[in-house]
């Protein structure tokens, strides 16, 4: 009974893993396919992996998401397997939402906090069976998970390298998957999970994504990963399938109003400056906090902060005059008082608006919404043009597409 | 006969830093050095043809960038090159590596424990938070908590504010950090012996404490708060060996008109009516000065250079009680080729970093047990670097210099003085440990310099061979370093100052004591300190 820690590796296993230093930036299992498609040679470091920033054209890749099918390698995403008789109870104690309402074969977007109620990360919690969960996230949390598992009958394993992932996003993705032999995919509702046969094993498909569009995420045993890519690629031609890099995905996720840990907020365990940590209510995740369920990490602190009005910040969507993206711009009230910072900004090709995610210091963005401005320094041919543009707080997502939730989805 | 504005005793890095600032402020400064070379414990000497050693200190991180900039040290040839990481060899034929790349580092820790690999980020964050708290104190004179002078009150308020900025958790961690043993501290983060052993090294280097002794967590912090070009916690090699630092300082000093006399050993400080008026050299020569600054440690300065009747009894007692215990030895080795370590992959970047063979904290603690019994450790904790893997200036191509720092090594052997036979036997424990992991190592040795506390004390002048001029335990830091009431570089003798590592903020090749002392001297002279740039911000 009780906590199961992963066994320490044997000498032989350790020695077999020594060679990692010969390749500082790891390859994902899909690297042979990405390398073959790579034309721009714009790589970036995603959690120690060599990942494409763009593959052939940053601008055009975005339109594969919104018009056809886009394939994005999500293998570097950190994954934990949480399994055992107490897995539900453990996850319910760990995270903000009510996990007892999450049925097997469903996934939900959630977040988890430390005892001060500060957000450690956000991510997706997959309930694969009654007693088996998978937590997908940006940062690493094994010590936090294992420490928190004390007293629960669960096993927790980090399985980032063992499980590979692909995001398939865009209006033709359902049709593409049907053509690739994923029979019955059209009955999958948003946040449903289903296993499909692949080779001698299975691939786990969820109707999820990071684009606000129709789309799926496919998780597979790393040993069978390449053949999954090939299966999608072979079927994808008629559906306009293109591989994309992070730049295109980032544009789509901002349109969808989705936040990225350590880009739009600083996670509690990485913050060097104590005042950078954020409550769920300060980064737009207040809706997740389920006070109707039992105890969970950070509950008391969140309740106290709400009671005492201690949530100092608010994360909002902004629509900004003009067409110059306001990356990292300071937000002002009455063009004078600094009240916040833009953390992500783009010209939205789909909304045809200049949009941004910003963190403002309350009451700005909360009860004071008028007379907000952003100061944009536009560098043009070695000269800054300083723009002071009016910003309006608007609801997120900036782009809402009916096809994201429509079941069965259309063919395009 | 010249009356110098200031005589600085000892051409170590702090003495030279101090002399440079004073000379640049318009004083006429003489540095007297007992050896026929300069550098103190930051020195590069050629003891066998074509091989330059870093004879004492061997890596650089703590040396303050503000000082390098103020004194134009790059112009005088100083370049510090950061190095990769390091490795601990394990007894089962594997190794644990620390790599410069964050994710490579994590992956190597994950070979031993995935949990520890991910705990490292939490650990690094906590250590970095504490460093951010302490770093701004390095270039500030510690306040006298018993004083009501406005500047002391101001500094106390500054300290209080800094504490006030800490969250409750951070404050608790700060107090724990200053008092815990490094072993207990690491136990809160890690489960793997070799990972704890690797991280504990910085907690015991140069310290007469074991990894299980309270206070060693702070010693670790002291080693982490340095930087190389803004990369906090990074360590590097001074191109040309550690002597390149003091050589650049000496050249900077001379370029601004300063004078250095070598082979000028001080016998005592001249004191008239309670005021320092110069020094008397060992050969009887008297040198006059308006003030004297000692780069020697607090014991040497006040127990050897000053007549006891010039000092208050309580002060002398405190100086005698100041803990400055020899605990380290060093073997410098000239090699005719690069040693092989078959456990490491070929061309491992670890060879450009620090290498160790102590894979458990228990072994480290046992090594300390030997020290307590008055013996050098039979199974010592070695901190090895081969700077010539990155520095082409110290040896001919293909040859190498290996620096082996050894913990622990007692100031006296079972209560008696060291003999040459003891020294050779100590060296043998070091060599045999390396040879266990590096076949054919002995055959590559061209020359060795073996330094026990005896050699370090006799040559460099560090009492008992303590490399920090006094233990870095919390009872001897801030306004208690070296003596309560005398933590602001002054002494009971007017015009006699201290500028060495016995003073705040302590040891390591940091230069901060030398600079801070110069600031106090100029304050006493009511001179502006315009050539001293403000401490860099920690933002």
Quote the Cα angle for B351-B445-B41, to 5°.
Answer: 70
Q: What is the pLDDT averaged over residues B49-63?
A: 95
Given its phi and psi angles, is residue A139 left (phi above 0), alpha (psi -120 to 50 degrees) or beta? Answer: beta
- H helices within B302-381, ranges in order? 313-321, 361-372
Residue A221 has pLDDT above 50, yes or no: yes
Q: What is the pLDDT of residues B399-418, one digit of tens each?
A: 999 999 999 999 999 999 99
Q: Cβ distance B514 to B14 under 8 Å?
A: yes
The CA distance from B450 to B24, in Å, is 38
pLDDT at B225: 84
Residue B114 with chain A: CB contacts under 8 Å: 6, 142, 158
Delimit the domains of chain A by residue range: 11-77+161-255, 313-399
Residue B517 has pLDDT above 70, yes or no: yes
Mean pLDDT of all residues in chain A? 96
Q: Cβ distance B85 to B98 under 8 Å?
A: yes
pLDDT at A7: 54
Q: For residue B462, which of B406, B435, B502 has the smallest C-alpha distance?
A: B502
C-alpha distance from residue B135 to each of B178, B233, B504 (Å): 14, 11, 12
Q: What is the pLDDT of residues B207-254, one digit of tens each?
A: 999 999 999 999 999 988 887 777 777 889 999 999 999 999 999 999
Preceding amide of A408 cis, omega within 30: yes
Q: What is the pLDDT of residues A257-268, one digit of tens each?
A: 999 999 999 999
Residue labelled with tokens 């927790």: A156
pLDDT at B162: 86
Greatest alpha-carbon pair distance for chain A in Å reads: 66
Report CB contact under 8 Å: B125, A21: no
Regarding predicted confidence, which is higher, B292 or B100? B292
Nearest Cβ partner for B170 among A141, A158, A274: A274
Domain spanning A313-399, CATH architecture: Beta Barrel (2.40)
Residue B536 tokens read as: 């860099």
Residue B138 has pLDDT above 80, yes or no: yes
pLDDT at B224: 87
- If you ran DSSP here, which 8-state letter would residue B113 be given? -
Sequence-ordered list of residues with C-beta below 8 angstroms from that of B330, at least 6 positions apart, any chain = B55, B56, B403, B404, B405, B406, B449, B450, B451, B456
Residues A17, A20, A21, A22: is their CA dihedral positive or negative?
Answer: positive
Q: What is the pLDDT averaged over residues B388-405?
A: 97
pLDDT at B473: 92
Residue percentage of chain A with pLDDT more than 70 = 98
Q: CA of A92, closest CA in chain B: separation in Å?
A: 22
Chain A contact for B48, CB < 8 A? no
132-191 in chain A: CB under 8 A from chain B: 140-143, 146, 158
How many domains does chain B fold into? 1
Q: What is the pLDDT averaged over residues B311-324?
A: 97
B478 part of a folded domain: yes
Query: What is the per-residue DSSP string for B115-142?
Result: HHHHHHHHHHHHHHHHHHHHGGGTTSPP
Closest residue of chain B to A273, computed from CA coordinates? B129
Q: What is the pLDDT averaged over residues B359-384?
A: 98
Nearest Cβ partner for B104 among A6, A20, A269: A20
The CA distance from A78 to A379, in Å, is 36
Q: Cβ distance B413 to B457 under 8 Å?
A: no
Sequence-ordered list of residues with C-beta below 8 angstroms from that of A134, at least 6 positions apart, any chain = A79, A80, A81, A82, A125, A126, A128, A159, A163, A219
Q: What is the pLDDT averaged over residues B148-176?
A: 89
Q: What is the pLDDT of residues B460-485, one digit of tens each?
A: 999 999 999 999 999 999 999 999 99
Closest residue of chain B to A120, computed from CA coordinates? B122
Closest residue of chain B to A272, computed from CA coordinates? B129
Residue percentage of chain A with pLDDT more than 90 = 96
Residue A20 with chain B: CB contacts under 8 Å: 104, 107-108
- CATH code of residue B278: 3.50.50.60
B502 part of a folded domain: yes
Picking from A135-149, A285-299, B145-159, which range would have the lowest pLDDT averaged per residue?
Answer: B145-159
- Given pLDDT bands bounded at 50, 70 and 90, which one contains residue A2? very low
Q: For residue B225, which of B401, B67, B64, B435 has the smallest C-alpha distance?
A: B64
- Given pLDDT bands bounded at 50, 70 and 90, which one contains residue A8? low
Give the structural domain span for B472.
3-43+65-78+239-322+466-524
Q: For residue B318, which of B467, B493, B488, B481 has the smallest C-alpha distance?
A: B481
Residue labelled with tokens 């957000």: A119
Q: What is the pLDDT of residues B10-24, one digit of tens each?
A: 999 999 999 999 999
Q: What is the pLDDT of residues B57-76, one digit of tens each?
A: 999 989 999 999 999 999 99
Q: CA of A17, closest CA in chain B: separation in Å?
A: 7
Residue percentage of chain B with pLDDT more than 90 = 87
**Helix, strand, coil percent content, chain B, rounded in steps of 5:** 40, 20, 40
Residue B445 has pLDDT above 80, yes or no: yes
Complex-level ipTM: 0.93
Residue A1 has pLDDT above 80, yes or no: no
Mean pLDDT of all residues in chain B? 95
Picking from A184-188, B298-302, B490-494, B530-534, which range would have the lowest pLDDT averaged per residue?
Answer: B530-534
pLDDT at A4: 44
Could you give the 3-state DSSP secondary structure of residue A364?
A: strand
Q: CA of B100, closest CA in chain A: separation in Å?
A: 10
Residue B164 has pLDDT above 80, yes or no: yes
Q: Cβ distance A235 to A243 under 8 Å?
A: no
Residue labelled with tokens 């054209």: A57
Residue labelled with tokens 């919104």: A66
Q: Cβ distance A104 to A24 under 8 Å?
A: no
Q: Quick one: how many helices (H) and strands (E) in chain B?
A: 17, 22
Residue A342 has pLDDT above 90, yes or no: yes
B392 part of a folded domain: no
The CA distance from B21 to B532, in Å, is 8
Sequence-ordered list of residues with C-beta below 8 angstroms from that of A72, at least 6 positions apart, any chain = A166, A167, A168, A169, A243, A244, A245, A246, A249
Regarding predicted confidence, which is higher, B203 or B164? B203
The CA distance from B281 to B266, in Å, is 4
Q: Which of A7, A9, A11, A14 to mutate to test the interface with B (most CBs of B within 10 A)?
A: A14
Residue A142 with chain B: CB contacts under 8 Å: 114-115, 117-119
pLDDT at B229: 75
Picking from A128-137, B175-184, B529-538, which range would have the lowest pLDDT averaged per residue?
Answer: B529-538
Q: Cβ distance B221 to B135 under 8 Å?
A: no
B264 part of a folded domain: yes
Q: What is the pLDDT averaged over residues A241-250?
A: 98
Residue labelled with tokens 């006699």: B496
Instruction: Tell me which H or E stretch contains A356.
Output: strand A353-361
Residues A102, A103, A104, A108: is their CA dihedral positive or negative?
Answer: negative
B398 part of a folded domain: no
B402 part of a folded domain: no
3-state SS record for B420-471: HHHHHHHHHHHHHHHHHHCCCHHHHEEEEEEECHHHHHHHHCCHHHCCCCCC
Preceding amide of B505 cis, omega within 30: yes
Query: What is the per-residue DSSP string for A95-118?
Result: BSS-GGG--TTEEEEEEEE-TTS-
Q: What is the pLDDT of residues A37-79, one digit of tens each?
A: 999 999 999 999 999 999 999 999 999 999 999 999 999 999 9
Topology match between the domains A11-77+161-255 and A313-399: no
Q: Which of A9, A16, A18 to mutate to test the interface with B (most CBs of B within 10 A)?
A: A18
Q: Could you please state the CATH topology (level 3) that the domain comprising A11-77+161-255 is classified under.
A: Gyrase A; domain 2 (3.30.1360)
B221 part of a folded domain: no
Residue A45 with chain B: CB contacts under 8 Å: 103
Query: What is the per-residue DSSP string for B60-105?
Result: BS-S-HHHHHHTTGGGGT--EEE---EEEE-TTS-EEEE-SSHHHH
């Amino acid at each position: 009974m009780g906590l199961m820690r992963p066994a320490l590796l044997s000498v032989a296993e350790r020695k077999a893993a020594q060679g990692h230093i010969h390749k500082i930036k790891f390859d994902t299992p899909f690297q042979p396919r990405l390398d073959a498609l790579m034309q721009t040679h714009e790589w970036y470091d995603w959690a120690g992996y060599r990942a494409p920033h763009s593959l052939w054209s940053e601008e055009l890749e975005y339109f594969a998401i919104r018009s056809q099918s886009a394939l994005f390698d999500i293998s570097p995403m950190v994954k934990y397997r949480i399994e055992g008789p107490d897995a539900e109870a453990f996850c319910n104690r760990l995270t903000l939402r009510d996990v007892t309402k999450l049925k097997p074969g469903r996934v939900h977007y959630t977040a988890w906090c430390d005892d001060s109620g500060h957000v450690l990360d956000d991510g997706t919690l997959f309930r694969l069976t009654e007693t088996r969960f998978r937590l997908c996230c940006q940062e690493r949390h094994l010590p936090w998970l294992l420490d928190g598992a004390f007293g629960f009958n669960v096993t927790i394993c980090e399985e980032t390298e063992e499980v590979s992932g692909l995001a398939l996003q865009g209006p033709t993705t359902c049709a593409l998957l049907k053509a690739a032999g994923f029979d019955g995919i059209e009955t999958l509702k948003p946040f449903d999970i289903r296993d499909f046969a692949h080779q001698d094993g299975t691939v786990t498909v969820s109707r999820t994504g990071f684009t606000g569009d129709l789309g799926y995420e496919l998780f597979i045993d790393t040993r069978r990963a390449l053949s999954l890519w090939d299966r999608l690629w072979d079927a994808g031609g008629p559906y306009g399938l293109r591989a994309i890099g992070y730049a295109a995905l980032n544009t789509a996720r901002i349109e969808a109003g989705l936040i990225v840990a350590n880009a739009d907020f600083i996670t509690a365990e990485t913050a060097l400056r104590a005042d950078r940590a954020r409550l769920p209510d300060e980064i737009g995740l207040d809706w997740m906090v389920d006070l109707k369920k039992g105890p969970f990490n950070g509950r008391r602190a969140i309740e106290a902060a709400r009671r005492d009005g201690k949530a100092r910040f608010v994360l909002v969507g902004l629509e900004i005059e003009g067409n110059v993206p306001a990356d990292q711009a300071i937000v002002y009230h009455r063009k004078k008082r600094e009240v916040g910072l833009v953390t992500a900004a783009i010209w939205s090709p789909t909304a045809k608006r200049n949009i941004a995610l910003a963190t403002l210091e309350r009451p700005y963005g909360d009860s004071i919404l008028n007379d907000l401005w952003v100061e944009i320094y536009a560098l043009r041919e070695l000269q800054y043009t300083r723009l002071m543009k009016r910003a309006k707080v608007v609801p997120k997502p900036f782009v809402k597409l009916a096809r994201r939730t429509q079941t069965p989805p259309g063919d395009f | 006969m010249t009356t110098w504005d200031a005589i600085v005793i000892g051409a170590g890095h702090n003495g030279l830093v101090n002399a440079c600032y004073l000379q640049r402020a318009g004083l006429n400064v003489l540095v007297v050095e007992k050896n026929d070379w300069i550098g103190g414990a930051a020195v590069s000497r050629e003891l066998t043809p074509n091989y330059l050693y870093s004879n004492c200190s061997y890596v650089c991180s703590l040396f303050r960038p503000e000082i390098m900039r103020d004194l134009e040290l790059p112009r005088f040839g100083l370049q510090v090159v950061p190095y990769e990481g390091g490795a601990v060899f394990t007894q089962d034929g594997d190794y644990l590596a620390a790599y410069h790349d964050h994710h490579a580092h994590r992956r190597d820790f994950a070979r031993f424990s995935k949990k520890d690999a991910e705990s490292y980020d939490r650990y690094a964050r906590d250590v970095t938070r504490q460093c951010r708290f302490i770093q701004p104190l390095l270039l500030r004179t510690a306040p006298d908590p018993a004083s009501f002078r406005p500047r002391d009150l101001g500094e106390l308020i500054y300290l209080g504010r800094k504490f006030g900025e800490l969250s409750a958790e951070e404050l608790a961690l700060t107090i724990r950090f200053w008092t815990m043993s490094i072993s207990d501290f690491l136990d809160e983060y890690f489960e793997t012996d070799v990972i704890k052993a690797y991280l504990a090294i910085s907690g015991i280097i140069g310290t007469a404490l074991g990894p299980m002794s309270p206070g060693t967590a702070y010693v670790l912090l002291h080693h982490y708060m340095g930087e190389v070009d803004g990369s906090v916690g990074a360590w590097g090699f001074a191109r040309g060996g550690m002597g390149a630092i003091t050589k650049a300082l000496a050249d900077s000093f001379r370029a601004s008109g300063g004078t250095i006399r070598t082979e000028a050993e001080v016998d005592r400080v001249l004191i008239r009516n309670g005021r320092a008026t110069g020094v008397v050299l060992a050969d009887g020569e008297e040198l006059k000065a308006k003030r004297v600054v000692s780069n020697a440690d607090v014991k040497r300065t006040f127990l050897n250079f000053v007549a006891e009747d010039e000092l208050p009894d309580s002060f002398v007692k405190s100086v005698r009680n100041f803990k400055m215990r020899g605990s380290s030895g060093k073997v410098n080795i000239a090699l005719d080729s690069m040693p092989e370590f078959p456990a490491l992959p070929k061309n491992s970047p670890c060879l450009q970093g620090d290498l160790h063979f102590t894979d458990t904290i228990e072994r480290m603690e046992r090594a300390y047990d030997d020290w307590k019994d008055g013996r050098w450790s039979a199974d010592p904790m070695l901190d090895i670097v081969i700077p010539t893997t990155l520095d082409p200036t110290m040896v001919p191509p293909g040859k190498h210099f290996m620096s082996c720092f050894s913990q622990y090594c007692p100031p006296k052997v079972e209560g008696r003085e060291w003999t040459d036979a003891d020294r050779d036997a100590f060296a043998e424990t070091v060599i045999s440990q390396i040879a266990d992991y590096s076949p054919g190592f002995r055959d590559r040795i061209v020359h060795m310099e073996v330094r026990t506390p005896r050699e370090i004390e006799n040559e460099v002048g560090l009492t008992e061979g303590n490399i920090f001029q006094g233990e870095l335990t919390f009872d001897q830091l801030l306004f208690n370093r070296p003596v309560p009431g005398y933590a602001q570089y002054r002494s009971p003798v007017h015009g006699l100052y201290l500028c060495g590592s016995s003073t705040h903020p302590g040891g390591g090749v940091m230069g901060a004591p030398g600079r801070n002392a110069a600031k106090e001297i100029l304050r006493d002279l009511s001179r502006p300190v315009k050539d001293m740039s403000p401490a860099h911000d920690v933002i």
